[in-house]
Structure 1
Amino acid sequence: MPAGTKIEEQKGWLADWLATPLRRNRPLYLKVGLAAALINIFALVTALFTMTVYDRVVPSNATDSLIALTIGLVLVLIFDFGLKLLRAYFVDVAGARIDRDIGRSIFDHILTMRLDQGRHSTGGLSGLVREIDTLRDFFASATITALVDLPFTLITLAVIALIGGWLVFVPMAMIPLVILVALATQPLMRKLSSETLGGALGKQSVLVETIGSLETVKSANAGSVLSSRWDSAVTGHAGASLRQRIVSNVSITIAGTAQTMAYTGVVIFGVFAIANQSLTLGGLIACSILAGRVVAPLGTIAHLLTRLNAARTAYRQINSFMEQPVEGPSGTGMGVRQLDGAIEFRNVDFRYPGAPELALSNVNFRIEKGEHVALIGPIGSGKSTIARLMIGLYPPSSGLVLVDGTDVRQLSPTELRSKMGALLQDNVLLTGSIRENILLGRKEVEEEEMVRACKVSLAHDFISRFPSGYDLELADRGESLSGGQRQSIAMARSLVGRPPIIIMDEPTSSVDADTERRLMNNLREEFEGRTLVIVTHRPSLLRLADRIIMMANGRVVMDGSPETIRNQVADIRSAMRGRDGQAA
């Protein structure tokens, strides 16, 4: 799904993200249905073959007829075998396509979801994606087979009636029993399916959180806390799963018992029919075989209804996520061919999801093209929040964030960020080579430009010493590298391609003073003629800025040149010392 588009509204009883893959695989479903229908017909042939042998071949010892019938049965079995293989193949192909299409839609939605709508836990979100398997299994295999087999229940009953007459009422009596028990368990199954899915997502959340921060867990001795959470999640999930299996087994077991009762009932009452000479021995055997096949599809339906609740719960969870709005404009959005680099905040308020207070309140400033601005202020003053709003990670709660005079909400987020170089506080690297982490699929960037950016960020100094160089494979978010090395690579990623706007949040927080000094010399020339917004607590980085914006409590409290800000701060400190002296 392209960035900037909205999830289509639910159509009919299925949302578009699920209905479209199902419609696209309709030809395969028709082939599966046709194969299943022929398989059911061949099953009738087997019963009729048995009846013919007992009634015609055995009494007259007609060996030639038996050979002819056997040849015909072998041909039927060969076709039956081939059709079952084809049915399984078509079902697997349809399932793979559905898995691919739905997975792509969900992953694209994850990439474009609006962060201001509330963040999902990493484990919970990954667990939710795993529920694609539940939907795929339901729509791709058991559903089609059961729906095709069900009409043949009536055909099988009709054949039993033609052969055994009133014996048809024996399997017919089992049908309401199976259906009523399956329907009676559905309300409880729906509740248990929801509890089971919630427990599974809880387990996944704790597991992913623990694995992703194992060093922190060990160093902070937080194992007992997470172990307690894990035990609670596992206990809840195991209990719900156990209750779900027990209830499910009730309907499935009753269906199996009803199938046996239908078979034995026909045999028992068939004896009286044979005594009355209204049924032959071959007819009794054929009716007993067919009686079992009458109830078998209903047993599948009982099992299908059990799986239906799990699929319905998974569908509702995934659909609730898919209905959340995506970032960017509602239409195609405005393209971003060229950026001059002017940025303006106009009466901007912003509150993080679930936060009790505003992170930004009535923020106003304008950054001209090519201007270098430093954002300073105490922790929690809103500096990093401003950086996030500039690159469109969050839309403002009110007011406007303008880039070159255009509201960022009207611009395609993907195109906007391709023209910006962003280095945030979390220097996360992806699994793959250093080269892939720097270029991120930008094929238009040449090798020379990548190396130039790495030399500016000083990443080339240590990368050139690796035996594999830029092809060194990283794993676990680059944990094998030091914090400073990861920050240097992330900085090179933000500088490659010479973007007209560069936003950096504490770019030297992980390096020593000597490295910072060398880096400052490189960056001063690198930023020439480009718009720079740098968030920092370090006074040394202020030499890169020709303007300082000071934040406090989510508001702009000072805005001016470094010299002006220093004078204002000195005056405030002098006034405070004088007030303290008078008070003393």
Structure 2
Amino acid sequence: KGSVGTLASILKEYEQIREFFTSATLVSIIDMPFACIFLFFIWYIGGHMVIPVIIGIFILIGVTLLVQPRLKKLSESSQEESHDKHSVLVETLSGLETVKLLGAGGLLRKRFKSVVTKQAKSADEVKRHTFFSTNLTQEVQQAVQISVVTVGAITVTTGEYGYGAIIACTILSGKALLPFVQLAQLLSRLNQIITGYNSLDGLMRQPTEHAKGSDYLRRGKYKGEVSFENVSYSYPNQDGLALEEISFLIKKGERIGIVGRVGSGKTTIGKLVTKLFPPKSGKILVDGVDISQLDPSEIRENIGYVSQEPWLIAGTVEQNISFGATEIKTEQMIQAANVSTSSDFINAHPKGFKQLLDERGEGLSGGQKQAITIARAIVKKPPILIFDEPTSSMDARTEKNFIDRFKKYNAEATILLITHRTSLLSLVDKVIVVDKGKIVGSGSVQAFLKATKSDKNTKSTGEKSKLESVVGV
């Protein structure tokens, strides 16, 4: 939940909290009990000279408590604006190329300038209140020492105390006031720390996949059977259902294509199988076991997933292909690269699999990135493969090479192919048609392609067939 920039900003609060609890200012609280001892000795040595010190302590406490509520509100406002600033910054940097191509730099610059200006105003107000509190405490400290000397001078004229008592009480008054002066400074920082802690605590309290006390079943290697039983799902903060009472059975080793127009719910089906999202209702079973009873990590170890948007890390091609897999042999990696067609451009590079890639695979084309993610999915030979538009960025020739090689590869896995490209349907045996979150049809690939061809022939009459309206062909 929340933007990446906001989450990164919240995590930074940990460093400030750690620094606060290890700072010398916090340790100064230990001196607080000694203030009472110093007050006793001032009274014992100088009598009435203790009165200005006690009054000064109450003034310091009063000023500190008076300023804190306002500082707390300002700290919360400043932190929220800091999160907004990081959010805009990360969003801009992650899509910098698109921003330049669209000429949208000016718009994002205004957004960034706006949030920075708001944060600067809040930060300045926090500083003003902090400086006011700090300066006032110092003035009170000076006034107390002057008052102690004044009271001491009066007592000297009466012969009640000597000059030594004045000097001693002046020194002790500074020692007695110091913990309360530091307390004012400490509480000013404490508001910022509490605000940061609350944000960090809120993040840490978010539900996790491995909840405390959860007792998942361990299955080891899966067979590959997948079934949905009246599954419905809706995305957070979205009206309507993304999927509504979906039911189907995919047996071990079956190859199923899931087709439909954009936004029909195809991708959601794939993500539900991987347990990225829990269904709103219904059951999802893998090998006859409800995935709510299975460890999410174990499920994903048994699934090779190719996302619509390929994601690569900064590192070598070898590291990207083997990313997330353990004990991968070199032969497996070479085979996966060959099947995915990534070997074509890997072998053309002088460093081959040791070629260094930048963050997010910058420098590679979209099709090359997809080829590497396909290799990553099949390298560990999982029992379930989910391909979500795996060739959307590939040219026709590369796509054909992938199809031919994947057929020869003969993966012993259950395959869910999410696509709107009829060219990829040669990789599957059956088709499930999805529209508006519901299954509206299913059957063999041959029957689907025949119906699709028939629908295209109706375009000359100006009519729109049912299949065309569903699949968008």
Q: Fold conserved (TM > 0.5)?
A: yes
Is residue 154 of structure 2 the alignment partner of residue 272 of structure 1?
yes
Aligned AA (1:495): I
**Closer, same or farther in 2 for the Cα pair 1:401/1:286, shift >3 Å?**
same
| Residue among 379, 388, 394 paired with 1:496 | 379
**Closer, same or farther in 2 for the Cα pair 1:325/1:527, shift >3 Å?**
farther
Is residue 402 of structure 2 the alignment partner of residue 512 of structure 1?
no
Aligned residues: CA RMSD = 2.2
Deviations 1:152-171 (A, max 9, x none): 21122223233323212221
Could you tell me whether the CA contact under 8 Å between 1:328 and 1:411 is conserved in 2? no
**Closer, same or farther in 2 for the Cα pair 1:459/1:577, shift >3 Å?**
closer
Equivalent position of 1:472 in the other structure: 355
Q: How many percent of aligned residue pairs carry the same amino acid?
A: 37
Is residue 188 of structure 2 the alignment partner of residue 316 of structure 1?
no
Is residue 306 of structure 2 the alignment partner of residue 423 of structure 1?
yes
1:529 Cα deviation after fit: 2.5
**Closer, same or farther in 2 for the Cα pair 1:294/1:542, shift >3 Å?**
same
Compute the TM-score of the two structures, normalised by the length of structure 1. 0.75
Equivalent position of 1:197 in the other structure: 79
Equivalent position of 2:231 in the other structure: 348
**Closer, same or farther in 2 for the Cα pair 1:527/1:323, shift >3 Å?**
farther
- How many residue pairs match? The answer is 463
Is residue 461 of structure 2 the alignment partner of residue 564 of structure 1?
no
Is residue 115 of structure 2 the alignment partner of residue 233 of structure 1?
yes
Aligned AA (1:363): I
Could you tell me whether the CA contact under 8 Å between 1:348 and 1:396 is conserved in 2? yes
Could you tell me whether the CA contact under 8 Å between 2:25 and 2:182 is conserved in 1? no
Deviations 1:531-573 (A, max 9, x none): 1111112111100000111111111111111123234556667
Aligned AA (1:376): V
1:455 Cα deviation after fit: 1.9
Is residue 260 of structure 2 the alignment partner of residue 391 of structure 1?
no
1:432 Cα deviation after fit: 2.4
| In structure 2, distance between residues paired with 1:290 and 1:301 | 18
Which deviates more from structure 2 when the two are superposed, residues 537-546 or residues 252-261?
A: 252-261
Equivalent position of 2:345 in the other structure: 462
Is residue 93 of structure 2 the alignment partner of residue 211 of structure 1?
yes
Could you tell me whether the CA contact under 8 Å between 1:134 and 1:310 is conserved in 2? no
**Closer, same or farther in 2 for the Cα pair 1:348/1:575, shift >3 Å?**
farther
| In structure 2, distance between residues paired with 1:142 and 1:550 | 66
Compute the TM-score of the two structures, normalised by the length of structure 2. 0.92
The structure with the greater share of residues assigned to helix is 1
Which deviates more from structure 2 when the two are superposed, residues 453-462 or residues 274-283?
A: 274-283
Equivalent position of 1:412 in the other structure: 295
1:143 Cα deviation after fit: 6.1
Is residue 65 of structure 2 the alignment partner of residue 188 of structure 1?
no
Is residue 174 of structure 2 the alignment partner of residue 299 of structure 1?
no
Is residue 254 of structure 2 the alignment partner of residue 371 of structure 1?
yes
Could you tell me whether the CA contact under 8 Å between 2:48 and 2:151 is conserved in 1? no
**Closer, same or farther in 2 for the Cα pair 1:296/1:443, shift >3 Å?**
same
Q: Secondary structure at the match of 1:344?
A: strand
Could you tell me whether the CA contact under 8 Å between 2:317 and 2:357 is conserved in 1? yes
Equivalent position of 2:142 in the other structure: 260
| Residue among 11, 24, 30 paired with 1:148 | 30
Aligned AA (2:383): P
| In structure 2, distance between residues paired with 1:580 and 1:372 | 33
Is residue 338 of structure 2 the alignment partner of residue 448 of structure 1?
no
| In structure 1, distance between residues paired with 2:459 and 2:214 | 54
Could you tell me whether the CA contact under 8 Å between 2:26 and 2:186 is conserved in 1? no
Equivalent position of 1:160 in the other structure: 42
Deviations 1:487-545 (A, max 9, x none): 11111111111111110111111222221121112211334321111111211110000
| In structure 2, distance between residues paired with 1:566 and 1:215 | 39
Q: Secondary structure at the match of 1:402?
A: strand
Q: Secondary structure at the match of 1:131?
A: helix
1:442 Cα deviation after fit: 3.6
| In structure 2, distance between residues paired with 1:467 and 1:267 | 84
1:576 Cα deviation after fit: 9.0
Is residue 16 of structure 2 the alignment partner of residue 134 of structure 1?
yes
Which deviates more from structure 2 when the two are superposed, residues 254-263 or residues 157-166?
A: 157-166
Aligned AA (1:560): G
Equivalent position of 1:483 in the other structure: 366
Equivalent position of 1:249 in the other structure: 131
| In structure 2, distance between residues paired with 1:454 and 1:558 | 35
Deviations 1:306-353 (A, max 9, x none): 122212211222222222212256603122301000001111111111
Aligned AA (2:259): I
1:473 Cα deviation after fit: 2.9
Task: Provide structure 2 residue ranges, at least 5 long, that are not aligned to the other structure.
Answer: 465-473
| In structure 2, distance between residues paired with 1:579 and 1:211 | 46
Is residue 120 of structure 2 the alignment partner of residue 120 of structure 1?
no
Could you tell me whether the CA contact under 8 Å between 1:160 and 1:291 is conserved in 2? yes
1:304 Cα deviation after fit: 1.6
Equivalent position of 1:33 in the other structure: none
Q: Secondary structure at the match of 2:22?
A: helix
Aligned AA (1:410): Q
Q: Secondary structure at the match of 1:566?
A: helix
Q: Secondary structure at the match of 1:400?
A: strand
| In structure 1, distance between residues paired with 2:463 and 2:360 | 50
Aligned AA (1:293): K
| In structure 2, distance between residues paired with 1:557 and 1:269 | 94
**Closer, same or farther in 2 for the Cα pair 1:453/1:574, shift >3 Å?**
closer
**Closer, same or farther in 2 for the Cα pair 1:426/1:575, shift >3 Å?**
closer
**Closer, same or farther in 2 for the Cα pair 1:304/1:479, shift >3 Å?**
same
Structure 1 ranges of 4+ moved more than 6 A: 571-579
Aligned AA (1:563): Q
1:463 Cα deviation after fit: 2.1
Q: Secondary structure at the match of 1:155?
A: helix
**Closer, same or farther in 2 for the Cα pair 1:496/1:468, shift >3 Å?**
same
Aligned AA (2:65): L
Deviations 1:443-468 (A, max 9, x none): 42222222221122122232233333
